[in-house]
Structure 1
Amino acid sequence: MQVLESARELEVIGEYDLIVCGGGPAGVSAAIAAGRLGVDTLLLEATSSLGGIWTSGLVPFVLDSDSKTGLVGELKERLTDLQGYPPRKRGSGYLFDPEAMKVLLDELCLEAKVDVLFNTRVVGVVQERDKLTGVITEGPSGREVFVGHLFADCTGNGDLAAFAGCRYDVGHPETGQLQPASLTALVTGVPEHMSETRTSADKDAFCQLLRSVGVEPSYQKATLARTPYPGLWTLGVNHEYGVRHDSAKNITVATMRARREVFNAVKRLRTLPGWEKFHLVATSSQLGLREGRRVCGLYTVSVDDLINGRRWDDGICLVRFCVDLHVLEFRKGEGAVSEGIRVKPYHIPYRSLVSCDIGNLAMAGRCISGDFYAHASYRVTGNAVPMGEAVGIAAHMALEADSDFAHVDGRRVAERMRDRGHIL
């Protein structure tokens, strides 16, 4: 059965220079960078906090941030001041208190005079041929329209680009399979003798501990990591395979199953000697999707770029992270693989942030233009932040020239990133 929705007039609530859709690490960075340059910016976020996977997703890691300055470095400094203690070093990045990050991102947006709307989801677009002129939203205020000159898709799943009819790729090039999703948890009461799962052997040992109480984790490299807050740890024990970014039913079933798996794992571990005080503090309010749409841009970052360590004149971010490809289906003893791909530090060129179909649409974060294997490297949040910064800078340049993202000289964006201290 089909129902015809009645046509209706929608009120235009506001007009902006730049409308950023998605308030995760990429989107909030784009909005802050643009706002600081005087760009009249609206940031639309579907949940009730900024930070996305950092906050709602309870993954308080900024991976691949060691060589990053700019906003990545500023966040670290401001978190130290706000928390009263520094973020905790781990691997190629750092861990932080997700509640402190929520407050900090609010403050940074207010300081930059960015208009933020929570609980507001983009559900459609207004466009004239190959140009976006507005977005249609649904939220507590009902169905509304915001018009703008420039637009940034920082939704992670490329939702805005899809509404606009842009071309995109999804999943493995041969099978279409997606990397699994995960639901992260915060736990407390970890025994003093337990150490973090830093190595593959550590993770295997933790999985064996889970098996000793009758739990076979769907994530075969289960993790346990300290947060900067004393006694608070993050726990990762699950993989949800085959979860589609564009299926509410799929995501709902996976979320319920993952939540039950986490709860059961904590409950079973509590039966072990020394684990009596082990408790689940919270599970993330959103399932962590590793993959969605990869929107086609003016350039597509490829696995060859990673292997050859390719640099570009319009390179706006230097990625050092490995190919972190979580196995596409359950395989005993395996969690994430590199498929033998050895990564040399490589650039994300500005061109890969600009839609090849709509000139006034840019992307930042994991929905930029890249192939399946490249995406498995650049998708981490230490790279999403400078991508967002570059979009904010490019928006300012485009407005100054009365132009759009497609006509901005990416080399000038790269220069501005270097001026901000980015090592490229």
Structure 2
Amino acid sequence: MDRKAASRRTFLQTTAGGLVVSAALTSPDTQAAESSSATRIANPIGGDVLRTEATLSPDAKHLLEQPRSIPVVGKTDVLVCGGGPAGIAAAVAAARAGASVQLIEVAGCLGGVWTAGLLTKILDAENKSGIMAELLHRFAAEGSEVANQSNGTVYDPEIAKLVLEDICIEAGVKIRLHTRLVGAVTDSDRRVVAVVTESKSGRETWLADRFVDCSGDGDLAAHAGCRFDLGVGADCQCQPMSMMALLTGIDADEVRPYIRETASSAKPLLLKLMEDNGMSPSYRAPTLRHLHSDIFSIMTNHEYGVSAFDAGAITDSTIRARREVHDLVNGLRRIGGPWKEIAVVATAEQIGVREGRRIRGRYKITADDVATGRKHPQSVCTAKFPIDVHALNDHGNKEINSEFKKGGHQPYGIPYPALIAEDVDGLLLAGRCISGDFIAHSSYRVTGNSVPMGEAAGRAAAVSIQQNVMPHELDWNEIKG
């Protein structure tokens, strides 16, 4: 057998030091001679990859990966991690302010929970200006009659995908999909200087002058060494996850009383219908929305006690949630009448995560801020959404935990310093990973607030470069324009 052909098939080799593992195979024309120290390079056109070599520990519990050179594939003024609602706004705002911008997103589309998560409803958006108002206008103008009637707050995820791509491309944002952040690098001055990603293109490095963490779970900040808070109590209990789905086969006029936008009675009516027919949804406030024609969305499940950082647990919860969605829809179909043709069109690619890391910022939004309606002098927007803690376990009413509402709620400001990481420089935050406590987070986490946060962070990143200062040295009132 030809030596080169044989080497392509061999991926496990025993050596004196243990087991050497090659995670991928390279073609003969990219292999360096065994005695050479030359760096192998990936070939995205031909499919060649950088080989990973490592030594397995004697107890087979650890793998010691050998050092390798990671190519730098991009250098921009601003890099935004996460292409969800906050990330879109951050990238567009920074680009419109004159910065070169790279946007990194793990999914195959922009929009995050809006699109991959099939959310279909934007909360706390009506009082917002800027990019949020612009997006609502486009969702309404390019969407259905329902989208128009709701001023864009009830939207079609497919329309949103196109609108978000268009607005980023129009602003000159560089987009990279299918790419996951796996590391961050800081210099001796505690300044973030690079991030590392993994994708089909392999392991890559991206450089920037400023970074914005819009990952939802604060992944970039955590990799950069930032402190963070998580959940509530000693056990760090977090809010449950939920899977959205799209449905068809029902007529809006025939099921009008059960549609959320009809009246507040829609949720209890739908729950009663389910329970009267032998169904017991894990979320006791099932929500049905009409999007257009005979397409609807539904949210009617809770996945309790799932860590946003445990891929195995998220996998299990995704499988359970998808099965529950199908079981409930099958149950509705058995009722007959207007439900006899109901069917699942799609379940979300991304299960809805309500809570991850809350990164330590230069200001921490608290329950007291929410209770007193504090108007911070550097507020980037006003949050009006109420305290909204979904049941933390399945022992109670499986809906909203009212215990956390006792302190009260008033519209309050989200301050710019809460968007600035405390432990490193050059890193801004936007979306649900900003600095706040558990109760405040349950209010500001909704996506109508994420967009103005992202817009503020993106603009601040660009202006800080122009003024040659760090973001924490800026006052929002001097840069908001």
Whole-Å separation in 2 of the counterparts to 1:257 and 1:78: 35
3-state DSSP class of the match of 1:61? coil
Q: Does 1:142 align with 2:202?
A: yes
2:136 paired residue number: 76
Q: TM-score, normalised by structure 1?
A: 0.94
2:147 paired residue number: 87
Q: Which amino acid aligns with 2:158?
A: E
1:358 paired residue number: 424
3-state DSSP class of the match of 1:282? strand
Pairing partner for 1:406 from 460, 472, 479? 472
Whole-Å separation in 2 of the counterparts to 1:250 and 1:282: 22
Whole-Å separation in 2 of the counterparts to 1:155 and 1:89: 31
Q: Does 1:103 align with 2:162?
A: yes
Q: Does 1:244 align with 2:280?
A: no
Q: Which moved more, 1:249-258 or 1:207-216?
A: 207-216
Q: Does 1:158 align with 2:222?
A: no
Whole-Å separation in 1 of the counterparts to 2:139 and 2:124: 18
3-state DSSP class of the match of 1:235? strand
Contact 1:355/1:363 (<8 A) preserved = yes
Contact 2:80/2:101 (<8 A) preserved = yes
Contact 1:226/1:234 (<8 A) preserved = yes
2:45 paired residue number: none
Segments of structure 1 that go 5 or more residues without pairing to the other structure are 417-424
1:112 paired residue number: 171
Whole-Å separation in 2 of the counterparts to 1:410 and 1:73: 20
Higher RCO by CA contacts (8 Å cutoff, separation 6 or greater): 1
| Structure 1 residue 397, shift from structure 2 partner | 1.3
| Structure 1 residue 373, shift from structure 2 partner | 0.2
2:370 paired residue number: 306
Whole-Å separation in 1 of the counterparts to 2:280 and 2:69: 54
1:63 paired residue number: 123
Whole-Å separation in 2 of the counterparts to 1:152 and 1:99: 26
3-state DSSP class of the match of 1:270? helix
| Structure 1 residue 404, shift from structure 2 partner | 1.8
1:121 paired residue number: 180
2:348 paired residue number: 284
Whole-Å separation in 2 of the counterparts to 1:110 and 1:333: 45
| Structure 1 residue 225, shift from structure 2 partner | 1.4
Contact 1:152/1:391 (<8 A) preserved = yes
| Structure 1 residue 331, shift from structure 2 partner | 4.1
Q: Which amino acid aligns with 1:248?
A: A
Q: Does 1:193 align with 2:254?
A: yes
Q: Which moved more, 1:198-207 or 1:255-264?
A: 198-207
Contact 2:358/2:433 (<8 A) preserved = yes
| Structure 1 residue 173, shift from structure 2 partner | 3.6
| Structure 1 residue 215, shift from structure 2 partner | 1.8
5 Å-filtered alignment, 1:229-378, equals 229-274=292-337, 275-331=339-395, 333-338=397-402, 339-378=405-444
In the TM superposition, what whole-angstrom CA distance separates every residue of 1:117-160 from its partner, at most 9, and x where no partner exists?
Answer: 00000000122131111000001111000111100110000000
1:133 paired residue number: 193
Change (3 A) 1:327 1:93: farther
Whole-Å separation in 1 of the counterparts to 2:390 and 2:336: 32
Whole-Å separation in 2 of the counterparts to 1:291 and 1:93: 25
Whole-Å separation in 2 of the counterparts to 1:246 and 1:332: 25
Whole-Å separation in 2 of the counterparts to 1:382 and 1:301: 17
| Structure 1 residue 89, shift from structure 2 partner | 5.2
Whole-Å separation in 2 of the counterparts to 1:341 and 1:99: 39
Whole-Å separation in 1 of the counterparts to 2:205 and 2:372: 45
Contact 1:65/1:93 (<8 A) preserved = no
3-state DSSP class of the match of 2:250? coil
Q: TM-score, normalised by structure 2?
A: 0.83
Kindly report the root-mean-square deviation, in angstroms, between the aligned alpha carbons of the 2 structures. 1.6
Q: Which amino acid aligns with 1:378?
A: Y
Q: Which moved more, 1:206-215 or 1:154-163?
A: 206-215
Q: Which moved more, 1:41-50 or 1:327-336?
A: 327-336
Whole-Å separation in 2 of the counterparts to 1:207 and 1:86: 24
In the alignment of these two chains, the number of paired residues is: 413
1:51 paired residue number: 111
| Structure 1 residue 175, shift from structure 2 partner | 3.6
Segments of structure 2 that go 5 or more residues without pairing to the other structure are 1-60
2:55 paired residue number: none
In the TM superposition, what whole-angstrom CA distance separates every residue of 1:334-372 from its partner, at most 9, and x where no partner exists?
Answer: 412343243111000000000001120010000000000
Whole-Å separation in 2 of the counterparts to 1:84 and 1:225: 13
Contact 2:146/2:154 (<8 A) preserved = no
Contact 1:323/1:337 (<8 A) preserved = no
Q: Which amino acid aligns with 1:99?
A: E
Q: Does 1:34 align with 2:97?
A: no
Contact 1:18/1:41 (<8 A) preserved = yes
3-state DSSP class of the match of 1:411? helix
